[in-house]
Amino acid sequence: MSESPETALRRALEMIEPEMLRGVARTDGGYVELLPDVPAPNPSPASIAMNNPVVAAIYEKLWRPFGVSMMGIAGMSMSAERAKAVADLRLSGHQRVLDVACGPGNFTKFLSEALTGDGLAVGFDISEAMIARAVRDNRGPRAAYVRGDAAHLPYADATFDAVCCYAALYLVPKPMTMLDELIRVLRPGGRIAIMTSCEPRPAPLGSVVGFGTGLAGVRMFPKNQFTDIFARAGMTDMEQDIHGLAQFVSATKQ
Ligand SMILES: C[S@@+](CC[C@H](N)C(=O)[O-])C[C@H]1O[C@@H](n2cnc3c(N)ncnc32)[C@H](O)[C@@H]1O
């Protein structure tokens, strides 16, 4: 059973495929470091922000609430979004949860608090600044952090009971590669929950928003893109909620 942040960290380390550790993993920063001496890439203004320690420090209290209000989901507080993630993932008990692109752990810690006994929430992110902040602000007896690239998750197939990915697929250069990885590491019967962008209608409005977000390095996804992918993957119990420019999609892997 995880009884301390140190135990949670050890358990998070043990979940990683041995060949992915390759003798390079470090834990001296309070998290599992799989990319020592490799800085996070900065392909866009949005990515540059995510790698900035000042943004990491204000992310949970200021940056994200502002970003969320820009996406038109101002009516939904962070606590409502967290409760939605727990409900959509159907979290409880001894489950093992992966929170991909966890930022400063603003969801990971909360997800971990829905678990008991051997339950564990692993926050996974590529930004050193974000992971350092997660360790500082959001460690827990069932919450631990790993720094790595979600385009190549270091886990065997079907490792996790639930996989969460909020506010990240629209930022990364290869979102479908990341999505494939999220589905791969989820066990059959497990739940996936994503929050990402949703193209507005009518089309002229979509073009204006798309131009602005494109400059910032944020991608807008069509409304049906993720539901279609999940359906083609044979997923069931699908739910989609659209709030402004954001969509929440969850489903069960078969
Ligand atoms: C906007 S934050 C989302 C944080 C949190 N999930 C939330 O909903 O507030 C996006 C995160 O994606 C991370 N990220 C971007 N590319 C990544 C990658 N290839 N692998 C892992 N994390 C990545 C960034 O470092 C950043 O912390």
pLDDT at 112: 98
pLDDT band at 75 (very low <50, low <70, confident <90, very high): low
pLDDT digits (tens, 9 = 90+) for 135-148: 999 999 999 999 99
Q: Which of 125, 152, 166, 169 to mutate to test the pocket of ligand 1 (most atoms within 8 A of CB)?
A: 125
Beta strands in the chain (DSSP E): 32-33, 96-100, 120-125, 143-147, 160-166, 186-197, 236-243, 246-252
Q: Whose CA is nearest to atom 2 of ligand 1?
A: 103
Rounded to an integer, the average pLDDT of 191-215 is 74
pLDDT at 205: 58
pTM here is 0.94
Instruction: Let me know: does 49 contact 125? Beta carbons within 8 Å.
Output: no
Q: Is the pLDDT of residue 204 over 60?
A: no
Mean pLDDT over the full length of the chain: 91
pLDDT digits (tens, 9 = 90+) for 158-180: 999 999 999 999 999 999 999 99
State in Å: Cα 126 to ligand 1 middle: 7
